[in-house]
Copies of this chain bind each other. A is one copy, B any other.
Amino acid sequence: MKHDGPYTSGVPKLWNATIDAHRNAVREAVLDAAAALVTERGLAAVTMSQIAESSGIGRATLYKYFPDVESILRAWHERQVGAHLAALEQVRASSAAPGAALSSVLHAYGFICHARHGGALAAMLHSDDGLAEAHRRLRDMVTELVAAAASAGEVRGDVPAAELADFCLHALEAARVLESKAAVARLVAVTTAALQPTT
């Protein structure tokens, strides 16, 4: 593991005990730096040299981790989606009743979408194959919650759970274009209303 002196001084945490932990720390620092640069300067303006400098490693080292800017941004986005999934799992675990767990997860997901408001980066990567796996996990989680709530009579049983999950996830994407948190709360309420058992 080679480091180029001048840039490492500010990031002592990179000098960890094990190679694995060290590599991981470098990787995380690169992703943080890339995300900050893209937010600040825009997608098109960011280069490998800037990311290297900003993450406190040499350019040659950076190329040992990632071949190009796009692969860094893809890895960053995967990390984001993974963090969102973990947060949703926690929300889910905090409610015992299936209907309440579903409501809480949909609410949390609505606000996650809202936080990605205007994300050019997310839009660019949205059709990416790399996200297919994360999206599948999200869809599976919501499908399970819908099925459990339907079994408990808290959600309509006349539409397959997977279809209702797709409906919810697509509907809540509208939170991206909403201006206020109040509007996001209304969106979650409208989406949830569609799941009510038909009488």
Contact = CB atoms under 8 A, between A and B. Distances in A.
Interface string A123-137: 110110000000000
Copy count, this protein chain: 2
A169 interface: yes
A177 interface: yes
A189 B173 CA distance: 19
Contact of A194 (B170, B178, B194): B194
A164 interface: yes
Contacts of A190: 156, 159, 163-164, 167, 194-195
A176 to B, nearest CB: 9
A130 to B, nearest CB: 14
Contact of A171 (B156, B171, B183): B171
Contacts of A126: 127
Nearest to A191: B194
A137 B193 CA distance: 27
Interface string A110-148: 000000000000011011000000000000000000000
A174 interface: yes
A181 interface: no
A18 interface: no
A193 B196 contact: yes
Given A193-B193, A193-B196, A194-B194, A187 B167 contact: yes
B174 A159 contact: no
Nearest to A113: B170
Contacts of A177: 166
Contacts of A195: 190
B178 A174 contact: no
Interface of A: 123-124, 126-127, 156, 158-160, 163-164, 166-167, 169-174, 177-178, 183, 186-187, 189-191, 193-196, 198
